[in-house]
Amino acid sequence: MQEKLMEICAAFRIPGRLSDWEELKVGNINKTYKVTFTRDNGFEKTYIVQQLNTYVFKNPEQVMENIEQVTRHLRAQRPGQVNLHFHHTREGKNFVWEGEHFWRLFNYVPSADAANDRDETLVRNAGAAFGDFQNALSGFDPSQLHETIPDFHNTIKRYEALEAALQQNTAARADEVKQELQWLMQAKDKACVLCDLLESGELPLRVTHNDTKVNNVLFDQKDKRALVVIDLDTVMPGLAGNDFGDAIRSVSNTAAEDEKDVGKVSCDLQLFRCFTEGFLENTAKAFTVKEIETFGASCFSMTVEVAVRFLTDYLQGDTYFHCAYPEHNLVRARAQIALAQDMQRKMDEMNRIVAECAAKYRA
Ligand code: GN1
Ligand code: MG
């Protein structure tokens, strides 16, 4: 691996010698490495090298075109802030192909480990960071962006894929997932409500992040200030509710996304409130009343949608998400179903909190 990393870094013209490297086990899709280079004068610099998953991203060069434009826009909008800088090769490309592998390299930002941190300040700051991301991109023309994964948050199509996977039963696992399927099928209409409202023209398309897990924000190690939103692979036209709901799915969960003991999974309403406060503080005026009204429901939609995706992948033999063990996708699907069920029980309260925050910050 070391040799390969040296080769990739050389293509991006990184000076010095590779003095340290490690694989970072983050994310379910790409492979990520942290590399440190030391120059002759002793100066050290650390970078992130990533191998993009080309099974998931069929047009990786389009992903990088989007990233080029989005990071340029963000840097212009927020010049004083930490930003992501993707390095270029001699040919002026922000990627390299190495055989069938696709690589990119960007600046490493030291940050707090937030994956399991449910500190209220951190959660509020995460909300503010994703809210600010929306604001910063509000002037960005969505037609400039490639749809890196078509129908990414089209919950209706995600259900169609699940039904097809069940029919094909490639991995011969259909018999194991009957209960999960039954629950997901009865939840379908409710889960697809955002898609229905988009289709009927009641919700506007914006430029959204589309993968707003809390570990896609980096936080300052000392004061837990949000530094920068990362993982820009799925920045595409989308709904505000996609970003809000997907973030709540991760940030309000009292357990890990892949918790085996579903009894530990629940939606923490205090954390829900913290995130909502942060998210709406500087965005409430920009969103339509209808959009904000969908935020509670969007949490349920996004949680069910990812459960559908995990179960689909399980039925297909784990071709999409990285898995650490054979039942990993099934465990993930079960945990997400448990979370969606808890959200369902708490939906009135969630809607009330959203309405309160919106009223406060619209005034
Ligand atoms: C994937 O790679 P990562 O961990 O940021 C997935 C998201 C899912 C998430 C679930 C491109 O995100 O959509 O919500 O796993 N990204 C893609 O953990 O499919
Ligand atoms: Mg991602």
Residues with CB in 5 Å of ion ligand 2 = 211, 231
CATH architecture of 2-107: 2-Layer Sandwich (3.30)
Rounded to whole angstroms, how far apart are CA atoms 210 and 27? 14
Rounded to 5°, angle at Cα 82 from 78 and 84? 95
Ligand 1, from 29, 30, 212, 230: best to mutate by most atoms within 8 Å of Cβ? 29
Rounded to whole angstroms, how far apart are CA atoms 36 and 45? 6
Ligand nearest 60 Cα, by number?
A: 1
Task: List Cβ neighbours of 257 (8 Å cut-off, separation of 6 or more).
Answer: 213, 250, 332, 335, 336
Rounded to whole angstroms, how far apart are CA atoms 73 and 95? 19
Q: Which pLDDT tens digits describe the chain residue by residue (363 residues)?
A: 999 999 999 999 999 999 999 999 989 999 999 999 999 999 999 999 999 999 999 999 999 999 999 999 999 999 999 999 999 999 999 999 999 999 999 999 999 987 777 899 999 999 999 999 999 999 999 889 999 999 999 999 999 999 999 999 999 999 999 999 999 999 999 999 999 999 999 999 999 999 999 999 999 999 999 999 999 999 999 999 999 999 999 999 999 999 999 999 999 999 999 999 999 999 999 999 999 999 999 999 999 999 999 999 999 999 999 999 999 999 999 999 999 999 999 999 999 999 999 999 998
> pLDDT at position 334, please?
98
Rounded to whole angstroms, how far apart are CA atoms 191 and 299? 9
Tell me which residue has tokens 């799925």.
Answer: 234
87 CA from centroid of ligand 1 (Å): 24
> pLDDT at position 116, please?
77
Tokens of 48: 């992130």
Contact between 313 and 177 under an 8 Å Cβ cutoff? The reply is no
Rounded to 5°, angle at Cα 74 from 70 and 80? 155
Supply the residue whose CA is at minimum distance from atom 13 of ligand 1: 211
Rounded to whole angstroms, how far apart are CA atoms 292 and 121? 23
Helix/strand/coil for 19? strand
100 CA from centroid of ligand 2 (Å): 20
pTM of the model: 0.96
Rounded to whole angstroms, how far apart are CA atoms 328 and 119? 27
Ligand 1: nearest atom to the Cα of 234: 11
Helix/strand/coil (H, E, C) string of 136-195? HCCCCCHHHCCCCCCCCCCHHHHHHHHHHHHHHCCCCCHHHHHHHHHHHHHCHHHHCHHH
> pLDDT at position 363, please?
84
> pLDDT at position 191, please?
98
Ligand nearest 321 Cα, by number?
A: 1
Going by C-alpha positions, the residue among 208, 162, 163, 143 that lies closest to residue 320 is: 162
Pinpoint the alpha helices (H) of 170-294: 178-186, 188-191, 193-199, 240-251, 269-281, 289-293
Domain 120-362 classified CATH 3.20.20.140? no
Where do the domains of the chain lie? 2-107, 120-362
> pLDDT at position 59, please?
97
> pLDDT at position 113, please?
83
Pinpoint the alpha helices (H) of 207-327: 240-251, 269-281, 289-293, 295-315
40 CA from centroid of ligand 2 (Å): 36
Rounded to whole angstroms, how far apart are CA atoms 230 and 24? 15
